[in-house]
Amino acid sequence: LGLDGSLAGLISGLSILVHILAILILAVVCDKLAAKIGLLKIRKYFIVLGFFIMPLTLALAHKDIIGCNGNAAFWALTFTTTMMGFQAVSVKSNPNDLAPTFAGIINGLANVLANTTGFWGPAIAGIFFDRFGHSQISYNYLFLIGIFINYFTGIAFITMFSVEEQAWSKQNQDIELKDELLEISERNKTSSSNADSRKETFEKL
């Protein structure tokens, strides 16, 4: 792209900063719209924007649109990471709806799998680079793979997405509530027993 290599960190950092700001803003927007049109409906709208509209920005990388224009590439990257905010607000927060008591575990497992892309992503890219070199053909294949993954997962989320808490999560909450009530009851019995003991001691005196 003809950019100064020393600015690579700054360029990447700015796009991620915009991504974070987009998530914060979209989270507020999602909450406000959910109160009006329903949480499930607004989440599905965000899924469409995040998984079906966002990948289209990859088409901007075509040589006849952006080509080797560094400034245009930066703004395209920034726009893409901004649109990814719709994914975060719709899908990545969904474990809090499905299973509040297990949300941390679910997100942890999902992040473990997601971070494996740091291994197999470059490996797949290497296959194309070894065969076609760092050419337009190689990048076109990689962009198409990225678009396919987004569309495939987007269809899966649209068809199976839910915001209802799952029965197994509710069952776990009931068990935790019973345990908590039992613990409170035991503490009350202990306190009552201690109070009676002190009362008997006082009466003897």
The pLDDT, as a whole number, for residue 79 is 85
Of 45-49, 95-99, 139-143, 187-191, the one with minimum mean pLDDT is 187-191
Using 50, 70 and 90 to split pLDDT, how confident is the model at 199? low
| Interval 134-168: pLDDT, tens | 887 888 888 888 889 989 999 999 998 888 888 87
What's the gap between Cα 75 and its chain centre?
23
Higher pLDDT, 52 or 74: 52
Better-scored residue on pLDDT, 177 or 146: 146
- Residue 129 — pLDDT band, cuts 50, 70, 90? very high
Question: Is the pLDDT assigned to residue 195 strictly greater than 60?
Answer: no
What pLDDT, on a 0 to 100 scale, did the predictor assign at position 12? 77
Three-class secondary structure of residue 163 per DSSP:
coil
Tell me, what DSSP letter sits at residue 161?
A: -
Given this model, what pLDDT does residue 80 score?
85
Give 55-87 pLDDT, tens digit per residue.
887 766 655 666 667 677 778 888 888 888 999
What rounded mean pLDDT belongs to the chain?
81
